[in-house]
């Protein structure tokens, strides 16, 4: 019996010591640079939103938060890297609708978009903008639909990759408007937007932050926004539902997640730091065409589940699939 008692207390001491070490490590987090994965190219909306927050995290927590762009396979490469990383909070990932879309779209996704990740916070949300090049002879959604139906001009539209939110936004628009446009995928928002500006393609569902400066400069024409409500940063631009496609409603969002199993104290520290920063960043994010969100990690987790269900339905409607 004494041996068993001694063994029991030895286990308690070991476990208690381990817990104290873990708690101390979490309180001192981060002790080295943190990698933040972005599944799209530099310069696009996702990249820009991420860099605004990583700079604030670096300032607040005293270690560099370094953006690592992995623009390949529709964001799956970044997702897989994050899912397989050590669950210590030193690899994070910016997640967007693409994150929850890909498992419905790709046959070979090697991670679960909910189970394999620890949600941190929903940072900001945004309307996408239905935009056309200045050479396209339309000024409204109804005129664009009429042009597509007339078949007098072959319309192409850009996306940030197969299965990206703007790809599926366009596919849903095509389905609801009863038109056809040819999809041309690019590896991120910046190259896709460059194609729109150059006239290489005619149409794009752009992130508002990426396209609004070009709209204001007269280089691109904004026809409508995708959400149920008009954008606060551009209240004169109608919604697609208002402009001719009743019931159309798509909203983009950007959140931060870690690998599943990351200590709760680390998640909480990141969540609290970001929630404190968001009000101060409201104006800066508004200039990017986004609106701040925030909330708890648990709330973001439930949001991810609901978004996965919604986008799975959109993928089915669009008939989109990647072999």
CA dihedral of residues 285, 42, 128, 322 (deg, nearest 10): -150
Structure tokens, 66: 């370094």
Nearest to 34 by CA among 190, 256, 187: 256
Name the DSSP letter for residue 46. Answer: H
Enumerate the CATH 3.40.190.10 domain ranges in the chain, comma separated. 127-243
Q: What percent of the chain has pLDDT over 90?
A: 66
The pLDDT tens digits along the chain (323 residues) read 444 444 444 444 444 543 444 455 557 899 999 999 999 889 888 999 999 999 999 999 999 999 999 988 878 999 999 999 999 999 999 999 989 998 988 888 999 999 999 999 999 998 899 999 999 999 999 999 999 999 888 899 999 887 778 888 999 899 899 999 999 999 888 899 999 999 999 999 998 878 888 999 999 999 999 998 898 888 999 999 999 999 998 988 999 999 999 999 999 999 999 999 999 999 999 888 889 999 999 999 999 999 999 888 878 877 777 76
Enumerate the CATH 3.40.190.150 domain ranges in the chain, comma separated. 33-125+251-318
Q: What is the pTM of this model?
A: 0.75
Q: What is the C-alpha separation between 50 and 54, in angstroms, rounded?
A: 6
Strands 117-133 and 34-38: unpaired
Nearest to 292 by CA among 123, 91, 72: 123
Q: What angle do CA 320, 167, 185 make, to 5 degrees?
A: 95
Q: What is the pLDDT of residue 323?
A: 62
Q: What is the CATH number of domain 127-243?
A: 3.40.190.10
Phi and psi for 89 in degrees, rounded to 5?
85, 5
CATH of 33-125+251-318, one of 1.10.443.10, 1.20.1090.10, 1.10.10.10, 3.40.190.150: 3.40.190.150
């Amino acid at each position: 019996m004494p041996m068993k008692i001694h063994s029991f207390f030895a286990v308690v001491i070991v476990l208690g010591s381990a817990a104290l070490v873990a708690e101390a490590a979490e309180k001192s987090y981060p002790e080295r640079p943190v990698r933040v994965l972005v599944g799209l190219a530099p310069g696009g909306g996702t990249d820009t939103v991420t860099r605004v927050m990583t700079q604030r995290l670096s300032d607040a927590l005293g270690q560099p938060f370094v953006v690592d762009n992995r623009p390949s396979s529709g964001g799956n490469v970044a997702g897989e890297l994050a899912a397989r990383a050590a669950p210590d909070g030193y690899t994070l990932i910016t997640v967007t609708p693409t994150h929850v879309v890909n498992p419905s779209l790709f046959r070979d996704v090697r991670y679960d978009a909910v189970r394999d990740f620890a949600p941190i916070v929903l940072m900001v949300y945004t309307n996408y903008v239905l935009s056309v090049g200045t050479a396209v002879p339309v000024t409204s959604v109804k005129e664009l639909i009429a042009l597509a139906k007339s078949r007098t001009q072959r319309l192409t539209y850009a996306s940030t990759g197969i299965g990206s939110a703007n790809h599926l936004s366009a596919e849903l628009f095509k389905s609801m408007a009863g038109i056809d446009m040819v999809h041309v995928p690019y590896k991120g928002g910046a190259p896709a937007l460059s194609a729109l500006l150059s006239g290489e393609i005619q149409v794009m569902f752009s992130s508002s932050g990426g396209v609004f400066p070009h709209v204001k400069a007269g280089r691109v024409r904004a026809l409508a926004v995708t959400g149920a409500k008009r954008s606060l940063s551009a209240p004169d631009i109608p919604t697609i539902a208002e402009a001719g496609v009743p019931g159309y409603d798509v909203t983009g969002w950007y959140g931060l997640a870690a690998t599943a199993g990351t200590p709760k104290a680390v998640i909480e520290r990141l969540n609290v730091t970001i929630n404190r920063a968001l009000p101060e960043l409201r104006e800066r994010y508004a200039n990017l065409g986004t609106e701040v969100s925030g909330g708890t990690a648990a709330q973001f987790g439930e949001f991810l589940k609901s978004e996965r269900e919604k986008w799975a339905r959109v993928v089915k409607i669009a008939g989109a699939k990647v072999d």
